[in-house]
Amino acid sequence: MRIGVYAHRCKDRKLVPFMLDLQYDVDLTACNTFGFRVVAERFIRIDELGQLPPLCDHCEKERLPLLLLGGGSNLVLSERLPGVVAQMALSGWRVEELGDGESDVTVGAGVPWPATVERALDEDLYGLENLAMIPGTVGAAPVQNIGAYGVELKDRVRYVEGYDRHTRQFIQLSQADCAFRYRGSVFKANPERYIITAVHLRLSKTPALNLSYAALEEHCRMVAGDKGVITPRHVFTAVCQLRQSKLPEPAEIGSAGSFFQNPVVSEAHYRELKVKFPSLVAHPDAHGYKLAAGWLIEQCGWKGKRLEQVGVYEKQALVLVNLGGGDRAQIERLATAIQVSVQERFGVLLEPEPRFYP
Ligand code: FAD
Ligand code: NAP
pTM of the model: 0.97
Nearest CA to ligand 2 atom 35: 148
Is residue 353 part of the annotated active site? The answer reads yes
- Indicate if the pLDDT at residue 11 is higher than 60: no
What's the order of all strands across the beta sheet hosting 310-312?
Answer: 254-258, 319-322, 310-312, 306-307
Mean pLDDT for 64-80 is 98
Rounded Cα distance between 28 and 89, Å, is 15
pLDDT band at 8 (very low <50, low <70, confident <90, very high): low
pLDDT band at 9 (very low <50, low <70, confident <90, very high): low
Q: Under 8 Å CB-to-CB from 14, ≥6 apart: which residues? A: none
Which one of 45, 74, 75, 199 would you pick to mutate in the ligand 1 pocket, going by the greatest count of ligand atoms within 8 A of its CB? 74
Percent of the chain with pLDDT over 70: 95
Contact 315, 246 (CB under 8 A): yes
Nearest CA to ligand 1 atom 1: 72
> pLDDT value at position 4?
62
> pLDDT value at position 281?
97
Q: Report the separation in Å between the CA atom of 141 and the middle of ligand 1, taken as the mean of its atom positions.
A: 6
Which one of 56, 133, 134, 183 would you pick to mutate in the ligand 1 pocket, going by the greatest count of ligand atoms within 8 A of its CB? 134
- Indicate if the pLDDT at residue 14 is higher than 80: no
Q: Report the separation in Å between the CA atom of 353 and the middle of ligand 1, taken as the mean of its atom positions.
A: 10
Rounded Cα distance between 212 and 48, Å, is 40
> pLDDT value at position 244?
97
Q: Report the separation in Å between the CA atom of 148 and the middle of ligand 2, taken as the mean of its atom positions.
A: 6
- Indicate if the pLDDT at residue 162 is higher than 60: yes
The CA-atom distances, in angstroms, between 103 and each of 79, 92, 125, 177 are 43, 16, 8, 21
3-state percent breakdown (helix, strand, coil) of the chain, nearest 5? 30, 35, 35
Mean pLDDT for 10-32 is 81
Mean pLDDT for 288-300 is 98
> pLDDT value at position 5?
63
Q: Report the separation in Å between the CA atom of 221 and the middle of ligand 1, taken as the mean of its atom positions.
A: 30
Residue ranges around ligand 1 (CB below 6 Å): 33, 67-75, 88, 109, 134-137, 139-141, 143-144, 146-148, 187, 191, 194-196, 247, 250, 255-257, 355
Q: How many C-beta atoms surround the C-beta of residue 136 within 10 A?
A: 22
Of the bound ligands, which one is closest to the alpha carbon of residue 286? 2
- Indicate if the pLDDT at residue 6 is higher than 70: no
pLDDT band at 172 (very low <50, low <70, confident <90, very high): very high
Number of residues that make up the chain? 358
Question: Which atom of ligand 1 lies closest to the CA of 247?
Answer: 34
- Indicate if the pLDDT at residue 17 is higher than 80: no
pLDDT (tens digit, 9 = 90+) per residue, 224-283? 997 779 999 999 999 999 999 999 999 999 999 999 999 999 999 999 999 999 999 999
> pLDDT value at position 78?
98
Considering the candidates 42, 156, 183, 328, report the single residue annotated as catalytic. Answer: 183
> pLDDT value at position 324?
97
> pLDDT value at position 103?
97
pLDDT (tens digit, 9 = 90+) per residue, 135-155? 999 999 999 999 999 999 999
Q: Higher pLDDT residue, 204 or 11?
A: 204
pLDDT (tens digit, 9 = 90+) per residue, 205-215? 999 999 999 99
Rounded Cα distance between 70 and 93, Å, is 17
Nearest CA to ligand 1 atom 37: 257
Q: What is the mean pLDDT of the chain?
A: 95
Considering the candidates 73, 103, 185, 258, report the single residue annotated as catalytic. Answer: 258
Rounded Cα distance between 240 and 249, Å, is 12
> pLDDT value at position 3?
61
* 126 DSSP β-pair partners: 204
pLDDT (tens digit, 9 = 90+) per residue, 113-137? 999 999 999 999 999 999 999 999 9
> pLDDT value at position 228?
78
